[in-house]
Amino acid sequence: MEVGKSLNNKEVTTPEAPQNIKKQKTLIGANVIFMILIAVAIFVFVSYINDRHYYRCDMTASGKYSLSSKTKKILKNLDQPIFVTSLLVKRQDYRFYGQIVDILEEYKYVSDKITVTFLNPLLDGTKITELAEKLKMDKKQVELGSIIFACGDNSKHVLLKDVIENEFPFKFKGEEIFTSAIVNVTRGKQTNVYFTKGHGERDYGDFERAGLGKLASAIKRANYNVLPLDLLKQKRVPENCDILFIAGPTKRFSTQETNYIRDYVGTSARLINDKGELKDGKLMVMLEPAVGTNKSSGLNALLGEYGVVARDDAVVYNKVNMPLFGMQTVVEVYISDKKYLDHEITNDMKKLTSVFYGSSALSLVPMSDTMAFSATGIVQAPDQSWGETEIVGKKRPKYDEDSDICSPIIMAVASELREAEPNPTAPPHATQAFANIGKKGPRIVVFGDTDFAANTFSDKPGNQDLVLNAISWLARREKELGISAKAPDVRRAMVKPGQLALVFWLSIAGLPSIGIIIGGFVWWRRRR
């Protein structure tokens, strides 16, 4: 009950007031408890979702904190546990330490097969000793600043210097190196890639401008073994050769040598070996335009048996900016988006740009019932390109419909055994070959250019990826594709001459003038 005074100063009793106050307090308390329960429920729900559905938004231009779709494919197909141990110590001179930690965490979140452990070599000596004994490694070697990938009895020791490309601008190769290490420890057996020599081919041990040293290093990191091959001395392709690589020959292959290659790869007429098994040779060929001082490689007839026509010309585009064979002409061809044709090699490259420098034009052999191979174009030159046959001495070549071929121009081809059923009239060898097609059989990739894979142009976004993807496809390792090193986010301001002049006059004349005007105005006011 509540007691109050009326207008005539008489006391009035209101018994409902205390009850109303009590109800209000109860209601407020209930609301508070209810809001707390809702807040707790929201927190639990968000934590549940966050625990089971990990997501990060990478806003960097290069995507340096994210894993590529290629790596994610490899991780999702892991069937064995991978143990990753970081032995890095955070120091000021470790430029990419934070990035290394972030990307290792990404690996762990993408696949539950990945376990990441961070050890400090200065504090965790006992654990490091146990790790060295388990991996059968020297403790001194383990204590170095490194990251160790282990799967079963296989292990891969990655040093910090391997993760960073020490050429400006410094590139972070963490994903490329780490994914390669995972492939290395899970696969075990290395794939042998033999590079031919003796015909003026590019040297895979050469790190000068025209060499293939950087490409060979990337191939090795992907768990391939790189070896030389002199066909005239060996008189055969070794039995342990998984991929035969011919990189830009400038001298002709002899008939004997091409027969060695035929015997290794197989042809429509010879697909079965002496044991009655389907041949399984893999061939990668990079050509150069056979114009000017460059001579034909002598491989044209051989490639024709696999459905590839190699032309003695050079692909020309509609701009002039670069020397080729001693004169100014067009050789720089940019490939991106729709110019990557539909194929396993190029399907993941639509957002990358490859640059070809002096490519020869390729075309496809018309199919026939007796031909066991089916060739497919994988890279096409831009529209308004053509194959120029008389390029020497012409600073500005023009299309000649009588001798030149017009667009569409193919600059890379992939060939493998046909999937269709053979014609009943086909020879017995072809019928037997078709019957054995499965996860075996020859594969061939031909590029009309070699320069695009050289050290000078290896930093182009799609160049190295294109070659590595082709090698993975040849080796039937389509899920293990090349991953480019990620460059730092460098922003360059493009200032036009007019804008530069405006900045100059504003800084030299504008700012001082503003000070003079303000000072004059203040002086004038004080005089009044």
Per residue of the chain (528 residues), what is the pLDDT tens digit?
Answer: 445 554 455 555 555 666 777 777 788 888 888 889 888 888 888 777 766 655 566 655 555 567 877 788 888 888 889 999 988 877 644 567 778 888 888 888 888 899 999 888 778 888 888 888 887 777 666 766 788 898 888 888 887 777 776 665 567 777 878 888 888 888 767 789 999 999 999 999 999 988 999 999 888 877 789 999 999 999 999 999 999 999 999 889 999 999 999 999 988 778 887 777 788 899 999 998 866 556 678 898 999 999 999 887 778 775 544 444 444 445 677 887 778 988 989 888 877 888 888 888 898 988 877 788 889 999 988 877 777 776 665 556 777 777 677 778 899 999 998 864 545 555 555 555 455 455 578 999 999 999 999 998 887 778 888 999 999 999 988 666 545 544 444 444 545 556 666 777 777 777 778 878 888 888 887 776
Angle, helices 174-187/213-221, rounded to nearest 10 degrees: 50
**Which CATH number fits the domain 190-474, given the four candidates 3.90.25, 2.60.40, 3.40.50, 2.40.10?**
3.40.50
What is the distance between the alpha carbons of residues 477 and 462, in angstroms, rounded to a whole number?
19
Q: What does the pLDDT read at residue 57?
A: 62
Lookup: tokens for 326: 């001693």
Question: DSSP 3-state assignment of 156?
Answer: strand
Cα of 466 vs its chain's centroid, Å: 8
What is the distance between the alpha carbons of residues 181 and 114, in angstroms, rounded to a whole number?
13
**Cα angle, residue 350 at apex, residues 347 and 353 outer, rounded to 5°:** 125
Q: What does the pLDDT read at residue 407?
A: 74
Question: DSSP 3-state assignment of 226?
Answer: strand
Beta bridge partner(s), residue 244: 194, 283
What is the distance between the alpha carbons of residues 416 and 244, in angstroms, rounded to a whole number?
15
What is the distance between the alpha carbons of residues 110 and 378, in angstroms, rounded to a whole number?
31
What is the distance between the alpha carbons of residues 135 and 133, in angstroms, rounded to a whole number?
6
What is the distance between the alpha carbons of residues 341 and 293, in angstroms, rounded to a whole number?
32
As a residue count, the chain comes to: 528
What is the distance between the alpha carbons of residues 361 and 343, in angstroms, rounded to a whole number?
19
**Which residues touch 329 (CB under 8 Å, ≥6 apart)?**
314, 316, 320, 322, 323, 388, 391, 394, 395, 396, 397
What is the distance between the alpha carbons of residues 55 and 71, in angstroms, rounded to a whole number?
16
**Cβ neighbourhood burial of 16 (10 Å; 0-12, 13-18, 19+):** exposed
Q: What does the pLDDT read at residue 488?
A: 45
- The verdict on domain 69-162 having CATH code 3.40.30.10 is yes
CA-CA-CA-CA dihedral for 138, 143, 146, 151, to nearest 10: 50
What type of residue is 334? Y
Q: What does the pLDDT read at residue 197?
A: 94
Q: What does the pLDDT read at residue 326?
A: 42
H runs (alpha helix) in 59-212: 69-76, 97-110, 125-135, 139-142, 160-163, 174-187
CB atoms within 10 A of CB 184: 20
Q: What does the pLDDT read at residue 30?
A: 83
Q: What does the pLDDT read at residue 218?
A: 85
Q: Which of 345, 410, 358, 351 is nearest to 382 (CA)?
A: 410
Q: Which of 231, 226, 232, 235 is nearest to 194 (CA)?
A: 226
Judge contact between 320 and 328, C-beta under 8 A: yes
